[in-house]
Amino acid sequence: MTIQATLIDELAVMLGQGGLLTDIDDMARYCVDWPGYRGGAPLAVARPATTRQVADVVRYCHRHDIPLVPQGGHSGLVGGALPDGERPELVVSLERMTAVRDVDPINFTMSVDGGCVLQSVKDAAEAVDCDFPLSLGAQGSCQIGGNVSTNAGGLNVLRYGMMRQLVLGLEVVLPDGRIYNGMKALHKDNTGYDLKQLFIGAEGTLGIVTGAVLKLFPRPQVSRSALLACPSVAAVLELYALARRSCCDLLTAFELVPRTCLELAMEAAPDLRDPLDAPAPYYVLMEASASGPADLDSMIESLFERGLETGRLTDGVLATSEAQAGNLWRIREAMLEGQRNRGEHLRTDVSLPISSLNTFHERATEEIGTLCPQATIIAYGHIGDGNLHFNILPPPELGPDERSSLLHELEERLFEIVADFDGSISAEHGIGRFKQTAFLETLSEPEYDIMRGLKRLLDPRYLISPGRILPRPVE
């Protein structure tokens, strides 16, 4: 038997029936992420059923110098959880660790396994009249451990923050196989360095998140949606500041939709009607919601009044039924569909100070237009988060190589503009492997030194998710 075969044998014994997959067909689905990105062939796929088993596997890998990569629901966008093709890795999937350990509607907390699917967490919250507000397109498959490790954002960040704001405690298997037990359900705790912060957003490079204590909120009982028409991005930004006031910070969404995107949506969904009589250059799709007797209609009407008075708003419609609200939100879905129909394009996920979004938008539109006049810009986003998806559809006539090199050039230019505005090249998606080159260019020397120091402190041999976020040291 080869050494590798021995290792795999020992892991199989450790994990028991169904705990280790080694067949190529069985392992195929662990090598693909949702957008279709593919990784290399793994050594094997470990499917531990308990935190103890995760610790056993990691300790074993530590002892035998086997690199490993933790996996959640395969919905990452930067290749962080895909097995490396060059240096085979053991995939550690948390898919068998799906328990909701405890729900506490008085403390407004829930304790769950790292492999628990986001939708199950949301369902368990709803069962006690609470809400776990993290909402993502992938919520039916993504796992809490992955949400923690990528500091997931999604639709309700404006109101509830990113995942970091929703985590009170963590359980993490460290790269040496020891367990850090920080599963405390405390809303306040100032005892020493807050270690859980290290693992949130670390993309699995500092440990495997096997459990989390999450914050819950009262479940919204009422919600109202509206579409607003605005003359400019600057007006949209001022309207946002007004809306936070008028709606008493009960806003759950405030989305920028340029006219181009509305047209793209109507192209993709021909039954969709222009919701307003006259076209406007920009629209806002907004939603407010409340868990008790709040008069959201009055709040939104007062926003309409202030907006019309001050010329920041030219028209608007308040949905008075769930069906009407659903129709408004279909615009956003259809616009994404319309974008996908246009084939390969540049998708970005940048963030800026909200107050810079209009000047950033102007400058980026101008410079990208100069670089490639035939490109179509599709720039929409979460205004309240300063998060813009400034996407670019290349001219349709280009061949694959030309297209790819054009998109690369446009991305570089766009990221330079982002840097000029003190923005971020990755608001939500993270770094993983795909964004590493661009990311490393943004780091100052002290930042790089501390980040590398953190990695070395916890994983001196770069065995866990090696090469993600930071490159492996040259050997």
Q: How far is the CB of 144 from its own copies (least distance, A)?
A: 17
Single residue of 6, 50, 197, 310 touching its own copies by CB under 8 A: 197
Q: What residues numbered 263-302 form the site for its own copies, per CB under 8 A?
A: 290-295, 298-299, 302
Name the amino acid, one letter, at 279: P
Closer CB to its own copies, 95 or 349, in the complex: 349
Q: Which residues contact 95 (CB under 8 A, 6 or more apart)?
A: 47, 71, 115, 143
- Please report whether residue 463 would count as binding its own copies according to CB under 8 A: no
Pairing of strands 68-71, 90-93: parallel
Joined together, the tokens standing for residue 115 give: 């492999």
Closer CB to its own copies, 81 or 406, in the complex: 81
Q: How far is the CB of 179 from its own copies (least distance, A)?
A: 7
Closer CB to its own copies, 20 or 228, in the complex: 228
- Please report whether residue 184 would count as binding its own copies according to CB under 8 A: yes
Interface with its own copies by CB under 8 A: which range of 85-93, 213-221, 255-263, 339-347? 213-221
Closer CB to its own copies, 5 or 186, in the complex: 186
Residues 51/57/63/68 CA torsion (nearest 10 deg): -110
- Please report whether residue 230 would count as binding its own copies according to CB under 8 A: no
Name the amino acid, one letter, at 188: K
Q: Using CA atoms, how far apart are residues 27 and 71, in angstroms rounded to an integer? A: 13
Single residue of 87, 322, 447, 461 touching its own copies by CB under 8 A: 447
Q: How far is the CB of 462 from its own copies (least distance, A)?
A: 15
Interface with its own copies by CB under 8 A: which range of 85-93, 136-144, 361-369, 449-457? 449-457
Closer CB to its own copies, 88 or 105, in the complex: 105
Q: What residues numbered 112-171 form the site for its own copies, per CB under 8 A?
A: 129, 150-151, 153, 157, 161-162, 164-165
Single residue of 132, 434, 439, 462 touching its own copies by CB under 8 A: 439
Q: How far is the CB of 150 from its own copies (least distance, A)?
A: 7
Closer CB to its own copies, 277 or 422, in the complex: 422
Q: How far is the CB of 82 from its own copies (least distance, A)?
A: 18
| CA distances in angstroms from 26 to 15, 21, 22, 34, 176, listed in the order given | 16, 7, 7, 17, 28
- Please report whether residue 371 would count as binding its own copies according to CB under 8 A: no
Single residue of 13, 127, 195, 308 touching its own copies by CB under 8 A: 195
Interface with its own copies by CB under 8 A: which range of 5-13, 87-95, 176-184, 334-342? 176-184
Q: How far is the CB of 24 from its own copies (least distance, A)?
A: 33
Closer CB to its own copies, 338 or 381, in the complex: 381
- Please report whether residue 260 would count as binding its own copies according to CB under 8 A: no
List the alpha helices (DSSP H) in 181-272.
Answer: 196-199, 233-246, 259-268
Name the amino acid, one letter, at 453: G
- Please report whether residue 424 would count as binding its own copies according to CB under 8 A: yes
- Please report whether residue 412 would count as binding its own copies according to CB under 8 A: no
Q: Using CA atoms, how far apart are residues 35 and 238, in angstroms rounded to an integer? A: 35
Residues 328/330/334/336 CA torsion (nearest 10 deg): 90
Q: Using CA atoms, how far apart are residues 314 and 230, in angstroms rounded to an integer? A: 6
Give the sheet arrangement for strand 315-318, strand by strand.
Answer: 315-318, 222-230, 282-290, 251-258, 376-382, 387-393, 350-351
Interface with its own copies by CB under 8 A: which range of 37-45, 58-66, 367-375, 440-448? 440-448
Residue 138's closest CA among 120, 124, 119?
A: 119
Q: What residues numbered 80-119 form the site for its own copies, per CB under 8 A?
A: 104-109
Q: Using CA atoms, how far apart are residues 69 and 91, in angstroms rounded to an integer? A: 5
Interface with its own copies by CB under 8 A: which range of 25-33, 66-74, 86-94, 351-359? 351-359
Decide: helix, strand or coil at residue 219. coil
List the alpha helices (DSSP H) in 186-295.
Answer: 196-199, 233-246, 259-268
Beta bridge partners, 110, equal: 103, 214
Pairing of strands 217-218, 222-230: unpaired
Q: Using CA atoms, how far apart are residues 181 and 200, in angstroms rounded to an integer? A: 15
Site map (CB under 8 A) of its own copies, residues 236-255, x = contact: -xx-xx--xxxxxxx-----
Q: How far is the CB of 221 from its own copies (least distance, A)?
A: 8
Joined together, the tokens standing for residue 8 give: 């795999």
Closer CB to its own copies, 172 or 257, in the complex: 172
